């Protein structure tokens, strides 16, 4: 019985998704949450940045592609420098979860402190407070929390600067947001099948023009195939 227990323990250790590792190099930044480094997708833990299809309102109540902006600000901050990422486990999409550093600076913290991500860990809450007080990044206007964006509805709370436009919810929930890509570079269409399978469609594929992006809230735009595949989407067959 004891040997059997040891056998199962060893098997669990070998197949466990929990794995501590360190990855170093200049990453490819897929969005404000996810990078590809040393051929591994790494998800910055303890933060929630907007996905690239997310739209926010600026200080004057105008729509802007805040998800693309968050990614681009991270690219600008990285500036081709080497990252060191320390991971402990993987998430449901098999991305390694952990903290990343650029020349000793914690990138996860930088994203929250600069207002390009929200805190998803108690240790980062003080940086979110500083960003919201200074009205930096997303906090310069009004937005939907990144974790609420994919499931947004009429009950979704709008957060942001001290003065949120009275029509903010109506604007940020409108189907027109889905009808056009958030950026000219983000032309990949993502759809969810009845089976729950998530499929992305490239311009030029036979199915692409048939998809009306305003039909279902679960549909979204992607800027690259790597971004889509990093979060569990599969390329359409045709």
Taking the domains of the chain in order of start, what are their residue ranges? Answer: 2-174, 175-238
What confidence score (pLDDT) does residue 176 get? 67
Question: What is the per-residue pLDDT across 116-169, written as a single tens digit (0 to 9) for each?
Answer: 999 999 999 999 999 999 999 999 999 999 999 988 888 999 999 777 888 888
CA–CA gap between residue 64 and residue 90 (Å, rounded)? 32
pLDDT of residue 12: 38
Exposed/middle/buried for 11, CB within 10 Å: 0-12, 13-18, 19+? Answer: exposed
What pLDDT is recorded for position 130? Answer: 97
Model confidence pLDDT, tens digit, residues 8-22 = 333 333 334 446 899
Which of helix, strand or coil describes residue 123?
A: helix
175 contacts 214 by C-beta, under 8 angstroms:
yes
Query: What local confidence, expressed as pLDDT, does residue 194 receive?
Result: 86
Please give the angle made by the CA atoms of 234, 236 and 238, to the nearest 5 degrees.
160
In the prediction, which pLDDT does 175 show? 65
**pLDDT at residue number 181:** 93
- Find, among 229, 157, 134, 145, the residue nearest to 188 by Cα: 229
pLDDT at 27: 97
Q: Which of 134, 131, 136 is nearest to 113 (CA)?
A: 131
Query: Which pLDDT tens digits describe the chain residue by residue (238 residues)?
Result: 444 444 333 333 333 444 689 999 999 999 999 999 999 999 999 999 999 999 999 988 899 999 999 999 999 999 999 999 999 999 999 999 999 999 999 999 999 999 999 999 999 999 999 999 999 999 999 999 999 998 888 899 999 977 788 888 888 887 667 788 999 999 999 999 889 899 999 999 999 999 998 877 678 999 999 999 999 999 999 8
Q: Is-contact 227 30, C-beta < 8 A? A: yes
Within 10 angstroms of residue 112's Cβ, the number of other Cβ atoms is: 29
pTM, full prediction: 0.88
C-alpha angle 45/47/52, rounded to 5°?
105
Per CATH, which fold does 2-174 belong to? OB fold (Dihydrolipoamide Acetyltransferase, E2P) (2.40.50)
199, 218 contact by CB (below 8 A): no
- Neighbour order of strands in the sheet with 158-160: 63-64, 56-57, 142-144, 158-160
At 91 the pLDDT is 94
CA dihedral for 26, 54, 125, 96, sign (positive or negative) = negative
């Amino acid at each position: 019985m004891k040997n059997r227990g040891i056998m199962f323990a060893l098997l669990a250790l070998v197949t466990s998704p929990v794995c501590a590792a360190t990855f170093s190099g200049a990453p490819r930044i897929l969005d404000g949450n996810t990078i590809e480094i040393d051929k591994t997708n790494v998800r910055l833990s303890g933060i929630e940045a907007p996905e690239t299809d997310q739209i926010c309102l600026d200080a004057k109540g105008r729509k802007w592609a805040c998800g693309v902006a968050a990614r681009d600000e991270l690219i600008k901050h990285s500036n081709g420098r080497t990252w060191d990422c320390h991971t402990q486990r993987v998430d449901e999409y098999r991305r390694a979860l952990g903290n990343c550093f650029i020349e000793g600076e914690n990138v996860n913290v930088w994203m929250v402190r600069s207002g390009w991500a929200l805190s998803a860990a108690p240790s980062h809450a003080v940086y979110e407070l500083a960003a919201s007080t200074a009205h930096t990044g997303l906090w310069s206007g009004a937005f939907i929390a990144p974790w609420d964006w994919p499931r947004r509805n009429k009950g979704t709370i709008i957060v942001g600067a001290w003065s949120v436009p009275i029509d903010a919810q109506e604007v940020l929930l409108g189907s027109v947001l889905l009808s056009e890509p958030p950026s000219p570079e983000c032309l990949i269409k993502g759809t969810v099948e009845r089976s729950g399978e998530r499929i992305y469609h490239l311009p030029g594929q036979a199915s692409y023009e048939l998809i009306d992006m305003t039909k279902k809230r679960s549909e979204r735009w992607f800027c690259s195939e790597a971004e889509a595949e990093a979060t569990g989407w599969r390329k359409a067959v045709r």
